[in-house]
């Protein structure tokens, strides 16, 4: 600290976000001068190299976008392509897809709640450092995650980058007897999720609320996973085919990921808090009751409480998985024949981190002419910066090290999945005297 | 007694392929070896199900690229600075250290770390690392599967550079 007027702090990496990026905060006295979430992960170019590929290859290609949420990419892709090709899948296939998504939510939410986010609240550098003091909690986290992965393995052939999803259904569907062994595990997971919710509800949360525009899917009778209209708490109510009329992507110099904004309105928030606030009534009673016991009230606008909301979604996902298994009878055929014609289709589904939009245009041979993919972290990117603009002034009196810690925590509220390659988040905090 | 050799890494990221290439070379030499991405939870399952494990992974270069460091992970923790480039937040080091805390380490765990130089997407393997892959494979084959396995090969030093 040689110059008291300018302070720059660098954190080489933060291992609890996914992807390669950095955070830059410039303070002048208590005033924030600049906030930039810089994503320097190289462009992935998936939209470009999908062009010219046959539509049937898309689910396997897009699964490679993410090792944590491959099902989300597969689900948005097949729904968009089925819409384009006017396919209506068997109700049993629809149920199986919900179960598949529940598996991904369980493994992804367990990972984030316990291993990435909880150490922030408990004052540990990471999950490994936390483990000796909370061994039974760690055992619970590992078993929960494993159960999510097991669902993905049974339905997808393997737990990462599954290979069973097809346009029109699945390449192979399980028999009922294949799913029944999951029941005992899921009953345990439901109880474990309720305990998770109680545990995280006891953390201390900064007193910080924002007036968000929440955006998520909304279905008439279900907590949303694969289907529904895109709605917000400020009156948005559109089909996926209208998405690009309302949402635009902008290039900003400091990020290789495009910033999404609502046209004429600015940043918005997708993810568990958006789903929870917009779909609370669709949660099963056990999740609603757990939310009340955890002190969550509507609307929940404190982003630090997202860890509690994720835990409530864990309760939902376990309960829903049990419901689906109870109801499931295999379809008459794993997948439908798909007649090909030139067409266009869009769909959005709910990835663990929020709304995931896909848009495809096909030629008469079924080859992809255009592909557009808008992931949830891209949509939340500007909102993360907006949170920090509001949050950092409250921290300005704190030592720089503590500001850094709190900023990182604020970013992790969003469970950002910047990419699936490396995972550096460098934080540069520059302080200037007024 | 169950014994597994596991090579971890990513074929598409330059020298990060080293662990996988050692596993492939070992199979050419007649030694059973499996390949994994290094995803922590899958690796933890493997660690918990074997009594003796030899694990091979690329590491961030402390010294010269191509140096092969050998740790007896039963005796020392894996250094964070060497194992910092894993996919997502949990990789080889996290798997080993979490398994240690939970009492799930195999009785013997020897970790070979091959110092890499270039971990960029689509980079080719550095020549020094290619040499190190061969050296590590020959050493593992001789120490653990040779006609006259090295006495106390499992005991090893706390840390050794070959």
Which chain B residue has its CA at the smallest distance from A421's CA? B87
Maximum average pLDDT range among A356-370, A403-417, B111-125: A356-370
Of B13, B41, B86, which is closest to A142 when you measure between CB atoms?
A: B41
Look at strands B52-60 and B3-8 and give their pairing.
parallel
Q: Would you place residue A419 in the very low, low, confident or very high pLDDT band (cuts 50, 70, 90)?
A: very low
- Tokens 């909301």 label which residue? A309
For residue A422, the chain B residue with the least C-alpha distance is B87
Angle of helix A285-293 relative to helix A306-327, nearest 10 degrees, comes to 160
* Beta strand pairing call for A21-28 and A6-11: unpaired
pLDDT of residue A143: 95
- The mean-pLDDT minimum among A62-71, A187-196, A309-318, B16-25 falls in A62-71
Q: Domain of B135?
A: 3-161
Residue A257: per-residue pLDDT: 75
Distance CA A115, CA A134 (A): 12
Answer whether residue A78 shows pLDDT above 80.
yes
CA distances A321 to A55, A79, A103, Å, are 29, 20, 8
pLDDT of A281: 97
In this model, does residue B85 exceed pLDDT 70?
no
Give the mutation candidate from A422, A425, A426 for the B interface (greatest B CB count, under 10 A).
A422
Contact check, Cβ <8 Å, B101/A421 = no
Contact A17/B at CB under 8 A: yes
Q: Is it the case that residue A278 has pLDDT exceeding 80?
A: yes
Beta carbons of A261 and A250 less than 8 angstroms apart: yes
Q: Give the confidence band of B79 by pLDDT, cuts at 50, 70, 90.
A: confident
The contacts of residue B119 (CB under 8 Å, 6+ apart) are A422, B13, B14, B15, B16, B58, B85
- A131 close to B98: Cβ distance less than 8 angstroms: yes
- Residue A8 above 60 pLDDT? no
For residue B53, pLDDT over 60 is answered with yes
Tokens representing A66 are: 């993410």
Chain B hits for A68, Cβ within 8 Å: 88
Nearest CB neighbour to A420, from listed B42, B44, B87: B87
Tell me the pTM. 0.89
Question: Domains of chain A (ranges plus CATH)?
Answer: 46-379 (1.10.645.10)
> Is B103 in CB contact (< 8 Å) with chain A?
no
Number of structural domains found in chain B? 1
CA distance A11 to A22: 9
Radius of gyration (C-alpha) of chain B in whole angstroms: 14
How high is the pLDDT of residue A270?
Answer: 97
Query: How many angstroms separate the CA atoms of A412 and A375, rounded?
Result: 17
Q: What is the mean pLDDT of residues B64-75?
A: 91
- Judge whether B57 is closer than 8 Å to chain A, CB to CB: no
Cα A54 from chain centroid (whole Å): 27
Q: CB under 8 Å to A131, separation ≥6 — which residues?
A: A138, B98, B101, B102
Burial A219-234 (b: 16+ CB within 10 A, else e): eeeebbbbbbbbbbbe
Give the separation between CA A225 and CA A354, rounded to whole angstroms: 10
- Residue B22 pLDDT: 97
Reply yes or no on whether the pLDDT at A112 is more than 50.
Answer: yes
Whether residue A291 has a cis bond before it, omega within 30° of 0: no
Percentage of residues in chain A having pLDDT higher than 70:
90
With beta carbons less than 8 A apart as the criterion, state whether B158 and B76 touch.
Answer: yes
pLDDT of residue A429 exceeding 80:
no
The answer to whether the beta carbons of residues B137 and B25 sit under 8 Å apart is yes
Comparing C-alpha atoms, which of A359, A372, A365 is closest to residue A342? A365
Locate A70 and state its tokens: 């491959």
User: Which stretch of A142-156, A323-337, B33-47 has the lowest confidence by average pLDDT?
Assistant: B33-47
What is the rounded end-to-end Cα distance, in angstroms, of chain B? 27
CATH number at residue B83: 3.40.50.1450
* Segment (H or E) for A359: strand A354-362
Q: Please indicate whether residue A104 or residue A257 has the higher confidence score (pLDDT).
A: A104
Mean pLDDT of all residues in A328-355: 96
Alpha-helix runs per DSSP H in A265-399: 272-279, 285-293, 306-327, 376-391
Q: What are A218's two structure tokens?
A: 């909304």
ipTM topping 0.85: no
CA angle (B6 as vertex; B131, B67 as ends), nearest 5: 30
A138-175: pLDDT as tens digits: 999 999 999 999 999 999 987 778 999 999 999 999 99
pLDDT band at A88 (very low <50, low <70, confident <90, very high): very high
Q: How many beta-carbon contacts under 8 Å exist across A and B?
A: 53
Q: How many CB atoms lie within 10 A of CB A380?
A: 31
DSSP state of B12: T
Pairwise CB contact (< 8 Å): A135 & B86: no
A415 reaches B (C-beta below 8 A): no
**Does pLDDT of A11 surpass 50?**
no
How far apart CA A243 and CA A236 sit, in angstroms, is: 10
Is the per-residue pLDDT at B13 higher than 50? Answer: yes
Could you read off the pLDDT of A317-328 as tens digits, one per residue?
999 999 999 999
Q: What is the pLDDT of residues A221-232, one digit of tens each?
A: 999 999 999 999
Please tell me which of the candidates B42, B44, B98 has its beta carbon nearest to residue A128: B98
The answer to whether A353 touches A379, Cβ cutoff 8 Å, is: no
DSSP letters for A182-236? HHHHHHHHHHHHHHHHHHHHTS---S------BEEEE-SSS--SS--EEEETTS-
What does the pLDDT read at residue A218? Answer: 98
Strands B3-8 and A21-28: unpaired
All residues of chain A having their beta carbon less than 8 Å from the beta carbon of residue B37 are 160
How far, in Å, CA of A278 to CA of A306, rounded? 14
């Amino acid at each position: 600290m040689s110059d008291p007027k300018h302070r720059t702090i660098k954190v080489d990496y933060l291992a609890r976000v996914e992807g390669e990026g950095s955070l830059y905060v410039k303070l002048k006295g208590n005033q924030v001068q600049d906030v930039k979430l810089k994503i320097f992960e190289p462009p992935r170019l998936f939209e470009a190299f999908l062009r010219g590929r046959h539509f049937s290859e898309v689910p396997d290609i897009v699964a490679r976008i993410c090792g944590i949420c491959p099902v989300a990419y597969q689900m948005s892709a097949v729904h968009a392509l089925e819409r384009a090709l006017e396919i209506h899948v068997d109700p049993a296939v629809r149920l199986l897809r919900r179960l598949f998504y529940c598996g991904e939510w369980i493994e992804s939410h367990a990972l984030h709640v316990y291993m990435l986010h909880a150490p922030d609240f408990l004052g540990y550098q990471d999950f490994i450092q936390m483990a000796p003091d909370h061994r039974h909690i760690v055992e619970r986290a590992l078993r929960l995650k494993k159960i999510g992965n097991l669902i993905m393995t049974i339905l997808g052939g393997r737990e990462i980058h599954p290979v069973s999803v097809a346009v029109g259904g699945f390449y192979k569907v399980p028999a009922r007897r294949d799913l029944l062994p999951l029941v005992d595990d899921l009953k345990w997971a439901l109880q474990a999720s309720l305990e998770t919710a109680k545990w995280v509800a006891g953390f201390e949360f900064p007193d910080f609320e924002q007036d968000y525009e929440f955006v998520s899917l909304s279905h008439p009778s279900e907590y949303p996973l694969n289907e529904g209209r895109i709605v917000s708490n400020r009156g948005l109510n559109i089909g996926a085919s209208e998405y690009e009329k309302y949402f635009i992507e902008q290039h900003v110099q400091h990020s290789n990921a495009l910033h999404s904004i609502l046209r004429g309105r600015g940043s918005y928030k997708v993810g568990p808090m958006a789903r929870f606030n917009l779909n609370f009534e669709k949660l099963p009673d056990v999740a609603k009751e757990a939310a009340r016991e955890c002190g969550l009230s509507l609307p929940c606008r404190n982003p630090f409480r997202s860890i509690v909301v994720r835990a409530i979604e864990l309760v939902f996902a376990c309960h829903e998985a049990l419901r689906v298994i109870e109801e499931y009878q295999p379809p008459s055929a794993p997948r439908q024949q798909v007649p090909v014609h030139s067409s266009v289709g869009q769909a959005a589904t709910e990835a663990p981190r929020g709304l995931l939009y896909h848009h495809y245009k096909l030629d008469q041979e079924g080859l992809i002419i255009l592909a557009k993919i808008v992931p949830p972290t891209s949509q939340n990117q500007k909102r993360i910066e907006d949170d920090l603009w509001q949050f950092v002034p409250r921290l300005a009196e704190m030592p720089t090290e503590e500001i850094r810690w709190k900023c990182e925590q604020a970013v992790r509220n969003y469970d950002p999945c910047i990419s699936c390659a490396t995972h550096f988040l460098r934080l540069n905090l520059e302080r200037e005297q007024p | 007694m169950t014994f597994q050799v596991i090579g971890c890494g990513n074929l598409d990221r330059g020298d990060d392929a080293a662990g996988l290439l050692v596993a492939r070379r070992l199979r050419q030499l007649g030694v059973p070896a499996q390949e994994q991405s290094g995803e922590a939870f899958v690796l933890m399952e493997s660690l918990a199900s074997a009594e003796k494990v030899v694990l091979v992974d690329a590491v961030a270069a402390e010294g010269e690229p191509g140096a092969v460091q050998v740790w007896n992970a039963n005796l020392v923790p894996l250094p964070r600075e060497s194992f910092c480039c894993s996919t997502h937040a949990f990789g080889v080091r996290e798997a080993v250290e979490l398994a240690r805390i939970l009492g799930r380490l195999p009785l013997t765990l020897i970790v070979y770390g091959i110092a890499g130089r270039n971990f960029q997407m689509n980079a080719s393997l550095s020549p020094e690392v290619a040499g190190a892959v061969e050296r590590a494979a020959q050493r593992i084959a001789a120490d653990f599967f040779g006609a006259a396995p090295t006495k106390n090969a499992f005991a090893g030093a706390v840390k050794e550079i070959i």
